[in-house]
Every structure is written in structure tokens, then in C-alpha cells.
Amino acid sequence: MTEKAIGIIGGSGVYNIEGIEIIKEHTVETPFGTPSDKVIQAKLNGVEFYFLPRHGRTHGVLPHEVNYCANIYALKSMGVEYLLSVSAVGSLKEECPPGSMVLPDQFIDWTKGGRRRTFFGEGIVGHVSTAYPIDMKLQKVIEKACAGADVPHHVGGSYICIEGPQFSSKAESHIYRGFGATVIGMTNVPEAYLAKEAGMAYATLAMVTDYDCWREEEHCSVEEILKVMKKNNESAQSIIKLALNDLNANKFDINKENTFAIMTPEEAMTPEQIEICRVLKK
Ligand SMILES: CSC[C@H]1O[C@H](OP(=O)(O)O)[C@H](O)[C@@H]1O
Ligand SMILES: Nc1ncnc2[nH]cnc12
């Protein structure tokens, strides 16, 4: 695979990319454990990329069980620099209805179960800024693809990440609206922050499946969500095709905010730690 590879993480309802030619399915082990599934190296319209279904291809991994470190590290070690994250979300705003897409630019971490959220620790000290977790150039590519595919979309807003797997209570949903959040999901934290530590350009295509439960008549059921998910998957497939073509033709330089993140000198690290840092900084 070439330098600066493209990666896609598929969320709920997006377990494969349609029309691909599979080059290889990689079983990857990382220093952080095993990713959610094999990483699929594939081609679509001549554009090569890597695909990983976040919950596994048979959707057997809960949001808090996803090994986010292993997923991001596996993709990074394969050369992925541009990471398109596809996610099902609930909407917290009237103007973002089910069936539409939202391209958030901020995250609020409301997870509670102590998910591993950093590659650092155990002898490696590092700190990255998450002030701008989304790469705006990559987001622009997705925005253009949404327009090209004629899918209604909303640019900007905050994604609040709850622990799950239960959906929120009405009281919680109103609190999150009070925070000003636009969409709600269970997976993009710590995924987005780990992508930042790995120096990747990360952007989310959030597919709205429901209005969460803040509206009078809503209570958020999987039955309702599954109906919308099918249509959202069709939209996402069209958007992904356009985004892949555009990105492949217009690869941009990435702002490597993590370059100076690691404070521990190499002399104080084990060979394994040096290798982890090499992969992350690549
Ligand atoms: C079945 S809806 C709830 C589920 O969908 C989202 O996952 P993903 O971001 O991987 O699409 C949400 O966060 C929940 O995990
Ligand atoms: N309402 C919701 N809350 C959390 N995650 C979701 N994913 C899809 N809809 C959701």
C-alpha cells in the first residue's frame, strides 16, 4: 500500500463497503490487543483503502467492548493517515432529522466505564491537544460527497458520547440538549482522541437514525432505528464512494499535532515502547 493510506471504520449498519474488490484480509495483532475484526484491504473504482467494521462484521462487540486502541493502532501500522469514521447517532436537534447526516466538529466525553483512551502510559508520557479533534480538510471532502450524493446534511456541532449500551433516559437527553450537543452516540470517544494521538486526519460521518428520546413522542427503539439504518447505509455507501475518489485525487498534508506529544526520552524506553512511538509518529 502507498504512503498516506485511507481508512474507513464502519459503524452500526455499515459492515462492508459495496462493490469492492478485496485485495487482502489482514489478521492483525497489536501491542494493545486484537482489533474488532480483520482489516480489509480493498479497492473501489481503482482507489485503495482499508476497512474495519467497528463492532465486527457480525456486530458482536458492544460500544464499551470495542478495543479502540487496537483498532486505531492496527490501521496506523498499515499506513492509514486519513480516517473516515462512519457512525449511527441520535439527533438532539429538530433540524437534524433521521435519514440526514451530521458532520460534527467537537466531542463531549460522557463515557463512564473507564475505556482505555490513550496509547501512552506504563512508561510513556504524552499529551495531545483535542481542541480540534476533527480534520477540517477531511470534513470538507465528506461535505462535498454528501452534496454530490444529494443527501441532506448538517455541518458542525458536538457529538456527545455516552457509555451505553442503553439509550438515554428523557432527563439525560434533555441535559445533553442543554449542553448544546447536536448528536449522541456511544463510540467516537475515545476513537477520535486516539486517532489524534496517532497523528491521523480523522472525520466523522454521523448518520442520524432517531431523535433520541427528548421529543414528546419518542422513546428510541432498536426496531425504529433499524428501519432508518438501512436507508442510511445506502446514503453512506454513495457518500463513501465519492469521498474516496475525491480524497485519493487530493491527498493533503496533515497537521501532526502529536509530533511533540511524547515527553519521555527514547533512552528511558524499552524497545517495544520505542516501536509503539515510531508507529504513532510515522
Ligand atoms: C444500534 S444504534 C446504537 C449504536 O450505534 C452507534 O454505533 P456506531 O457509532 O458504531 O455506529 C452507537 O454509538 C451505538 O453503539
Ligand atoms: N439515540 C442514540 N443514543 C446513543 N447512540 C445512538 N446511536 C443511534 N442512536 C443513538
Q: Are 163 and 184 in contact (CB under 8 A)?
A: no
The pLDDT-based confidence of 220 (bands split at 50, 70, 90) is confident
Q: Are 10 and 86 in contact (CB under 8 A)?
A: yes
Say whether the ipTM exceeds 0.95.
yes
CA–CA gap between residue 115 and residue 133 (Å, rounded)? 18
Q: Are 165 and 62 in contact (CB under 8 A)?
A: yes
210 in catalytic set = yes
Nearest Cα residue to 195 out of 63, 36, 75, 275: 75
Q: Which residues pair with 278 in a beta bridge?
A: none
Question: Of these residues, 37, 105, 135, 212, which one is catalytic?
Answer: 212
**Look-up: residue for cell 474488490?**
21
- Using DSSP bridges, classify how beta strands 39-44 and 47-53 pair: parallel, antiparallel or unpaired: antiparallel
pLDDT in tens, 155-205: 999 999 999 999 999 999 999 999 999 999 999 999 999 999 999 999 999
Domain ranges in the chain?
A: 5-281
**Look-up: residue for cell 515502547?**
273
234 Cα distance to chain centroid: 18
CA–CA gap between residue 96 and residue 145 (Å, rounded)? 18
**Residue 177 Ramachandran class (φ > 0 left, ψ -120 to 50 alpha, else beta):** alpha
CA–CA gap between residue 280 and residue 282 (Å, rounded)? 6
Question: Of these residues, 105, 150, 210, 253, which one is catalytic?
Answer: 210
| Residue 149 confidence (pLDDT) | 98
**Long-range Cβ contacts of 111-116 (<8 Å, 24+ apart):** 111/64, 111/161, 111/162, 111/163, 111/189, 111/190, 112/163, 113/64, 113/163, 115/64, 115/68, 115/189, 115/190, 116/32, 116/67, 116/68, 116/69, 116/190
CA–CA gap between residue 142 and residue 1 (Å, rounded)? 23
Please tell me whether the overall predicted TM-score, pTM, comes out greater than 0.80 for this model.
yes
* The ligand 1 atom nearest the CA atom of 12: 11
Nearest ligand to the CA of 169 is 2
* Ligand 1 centroid, distance to 185 Cα (angstroms): 6
* Ligand 1 centroid, distance to 89 Cα (angstroms): 6
* Ligand 2 centroid, distance to 244 Cα (angstroms): 26
135 in catalytic set = no
CA–CA gap between residue 84 and residue 17 (Å, rounded)? 13
Quote the mean pLDDT of the chain: 95
CA–CA gap between residue 6 and residue 83 (Å, rounded)? 6
CA–CA gap between residue 68 and residue 183 (Å, rounded)? 20
pLDDT in tens, 9-51: 999 999 999 999 999 999 999 999 999 999 999 999 999 999 9
The pLDDT-based confidence of 2 (bands split at 50, 70, 90) is low
**CATH class held by domain 5-281:** alpha beta
